[in-house]
Amino acid sequence: MEEGYERPKDEDILEQEENIRSEVAASSCLVGDQEPLNVLLEEYSNPVLQKKIVELSQNYRCIRRIRGDGNCFYRACLCGLLERKKTLDGDRKVEECLAILAEWKNKLVESGFQLLVFEDAMDMLVEQLEQSKGGDLEATLSILRDSIISNFLIMLLRMITAAHLKQRSEHFEPFVLNYGGDCESMQDFCEKYVLPMGVESDHMHAVAFAEAMRLHIRIEYLDRSEASAQHDFKLEGNDSSSPDIMLLYRPGHYDVIYRKA
């Protein structure tokens, strides 16, 4: 080691790594085009990951990449919501979602959110769902790729998730108290890990969001564990075998995936 060399402090290294991640995220598209799922084989040399990608390719035809900016779970779900028209019963699904959003308008106020803060975002999401009935994918992608509009809608989805967690605090609070060791209450958890933009989502967020919007969300896990993993998030009693939204989870990140016909 050269004389006079001073090793960077750990916090400086972490800050630099975070800056690099932020730069990479900022340079990537918010919502990408569909790509064949097997393009992931080019990104991984690990045999376990390659085997899992081949297995996933048997059931899924393509992937739509979502920017890894900490909002990828909600952005991917938003993409799935607005693309539901493409399913056989798309119109019915959209109407169900519109009815659920109408209920959340009052629930959010009851949970302490000011109508003035979220009403425009709610109206915008309702408008986009109505327009999605026309099946104009390019118009949908244009909205999803507009950072101002899509982040505005993600803010609303975070509020709905937080409100649901608070409403079911007795169920979720035991998990919250062990979450990172720095949350003393559900309110504390929501303020630190749910409402702020750019904060990553995990299992508990997925459970709460799926329950709140009465969605069936299927997440396929692509990691180095030997066993294949798939998890369905939906309300208890929902016996639907066809997911509304399908996501691929790689550690710290979510993308949208699409089943073969």
d(CA 223, CA 200): 17
E strand or H helix at 35:
strand 31-36
Q: Which residues of 90-127 are buried (b: 16+ CB within 10 A; e: fewer)?
A: eeebbebbeeebeebeeebeebebeeeebeebbeebee
Tell me phi and psi for residue 136, to 5 degrees: -85, 95
Amino acid of residue 104? W
Q: Alpha-carbon Rg of the chain, whole angstroms?
A: 20
Give the residue numbers marked as catalytic. 69, 72, 253
CB-side neighbour CA atoms (13 Å) of 74 = 27
